[in-house]
Amino acid sequence: MTDQQNAGSAVDGDRRMFLYEQPEPLTKEEHGRLGITPSQRPFEFVKNVTAVPIAAVEIAAAQKYYPVVFSDLEKPTLLAIVGVMDGVNLFVDDEGHWDRTTYLPGYLRCYPFALAPRADDQFAVVIDRAASTIGENGEQPLFENGELAKPIKDHVDYCARFSSYRQATSEFCDRVAELGLLSGQQANFTPEDGGEAESIGSYVAVDLTRLKDLDADTLKDMHLDGTLSGIYAHGFSMDNWSHLLDRRKWRQADG
């Protein structure tokens, strides 16, 4: 399974939970002695990740920095591309920090917590027990006086807000797929010395030329429900393929 496919599965509630190596439902009984000790290298765990799930509400912010693509044609989800060709996240520096000048996807802000759907249509709070920041007698206990400690509860509340965007994201992706707007595309790189162009990645995106085949009522509905603005923001993000190559070149020069 590719990095993009793994990332895409996370948004669908897949049990594998992209990036979560040992997801466990958070309980006082199992995790009452655990705490979090902040890492000096907080994004080391995604230094080799090249695609991160995002929500539809994030497209406007993410499109300024990353190509925003769809995971596939059949059951698409949204991904921000953060690396090309050599499996390196171009937004995580040598000290394990995310580039502070860019937008940090909400999926990463949630980690090592998450909300996972349960069979009863409710959600369970999940932690990645394998996260390097979680351990016994950590600096910030997960529980205090038998309840979630306030900083942990605040983090979980953020995860709940992010999880609430799941349905709108699915509806947006399903809508563009049902309208037949998606197509497989290639990002190509042409060397400055005039050498032969090469592909730097295959991805799924909206073919904007297909919008002209839609009837006026459909376009009006897409405008009113925000689908059209999301599509155009996604389209604008394609300019960032060249920015990723610039980042790669600068990193290689510094390396």
- Give average pLDDT by consecutive 10-residue segment, the chain, 255 residues: 48 63 95 95 96 97 98 95 89 96 97 86 89 94 95 96 94 96 88 71 94 96 96 96 89 74
Tally of CB atoms within 10 A around 32: 11
Give DSSP secondary structure letters for 113-154: EEEEE-TTS-EEEEEETT-TTEEET-SEESEETTEE-HHHHH
* Lookup: tokens for 78: 């949204």
Nearest to 126 by CA among 24, 55, 222: 24
pLDDT, residue 193, reads 65
Please give the pLDDT value at position 86: 77
Looking up tokens 């707007």 gives 181
Residue type for position 203: Y
Q: What pTM was computed for the model?
A: 0.89
Among residues 192, 161, 205, 187, the alpha carbon closest in space to that of 244 is found at: 187
Distance between CA atoms of residues 131 and 155, nearest Å = 15
What is the pLDDT, as a whole number, of residue 250?
A: 84
Element (H, E) at 236: helix 227-236
Q: Name the maximum alpha-carbon separation found in the chain.
A: 67
Confidence (pLDDT) at 255: 61
Q: Do 187 and 68 touch, CB atoms closer than 8 A?
A: no
pLDDT score at 12: 39
